């Protein structure tokens, strides 16, 4: 939804994701959208992508780190699912750090450069059954604050986007929860800001 709004505002927009079929659907619905398969869990793939994207799109000046997975934790179980916890940390924390590191040299050379890190309201008020997700979003908040401080003299704006509970499919059925903010209303607020 955010990519669509940026396109409607006249921007060139590039999106990445792990699932080629979802990217194909997004591009079919938004023909001007440029899509690339990328798994931010793969450090080498991130570096290769950054080299290719900055070569093919030298005017690229904004990075939005939005990768995220949310898997419920059962911390009272006899055997914890460390595979799920490690996957969450890799995608939600290492993925954005890798993307930032890979694109930062390019962004330092661009006018009006910005990095937008999507965290979550759960970074501040955690949901107990998603402890690892909340911890990664809290870590991204702290990382964003530090990144902003370090990059202020470089002229790169660092923005934290902190969604509340929004009607998306981050978890199955979440897009139907009446108590959650409608996606369009959330995107309206983001674009206004």
Instruction: State the residue for tokens 């969450």.
Output: 88
* Cα-Cα-Cα-Cα dihedral sign, residues 56, 147, 169, 40: positive
Single out the catalytic residue among 36, 133, 143, 180: 133
Query: In this structure, what is the dihedral angle of CA atoms 11, 29, 65, 95, given to the nearest 10 degrees?
Result: -140
Nearest alpha-carbon partner for 64 in 14, 136, 120, 11: 14
Q: Active-site residue 133, yes or no?
A: yes
- Please, are residues 89 and 119 in contact by the beta-carbon 8 Å criterion? no
Nearest alpha-carbon partner for 68 in 13, 27, 5, 17: 17
Tokens, residue 119? 């965290």
- Tell me the C-alpha distance between 117 and 141, whole Å: 8
Which are the catalytic amino acids? 133
């Amino acid at each position: 939804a955010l990519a669509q709004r940026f396109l409607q505002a006249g921007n060139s927009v590039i999106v990445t994701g792990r699932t080629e079929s979802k990217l194909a659907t997004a591009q079919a619905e938004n023909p001007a959208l440029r899509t690339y398969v990328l798994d931010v869990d793969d450090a080498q793939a991130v570096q290769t992508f950054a080299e290719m994207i900055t070569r093919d799109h030298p005017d690229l000046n904004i990075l939005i780190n939005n990768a995220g997975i949310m898997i419920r934790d059962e911390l009272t179980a006899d055997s914890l699912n460390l595979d799920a916890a490690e996957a969450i940390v890799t995608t939600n924390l290492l993925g954005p750090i890798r993307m930032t590191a890979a694109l930062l040299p390019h962004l330092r050379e661009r006018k009006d450069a910005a990095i937008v890190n999507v965290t979550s309201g759960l970074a501040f008020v955690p949901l107990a059954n998603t402890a690892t997700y909340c911890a990664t979003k809290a870590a991204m908040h702290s990382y964003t604050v530090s990144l902003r401080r370090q990059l202020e003299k470089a002229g790169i704006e660092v923005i934290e986007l902190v969604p509340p509970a929004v009607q998306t499919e981050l978890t199955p059925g979440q897009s139907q929860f009446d108590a959650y903010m409608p996606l369009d209303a959330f995107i309206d607020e983001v674009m206004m800001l």
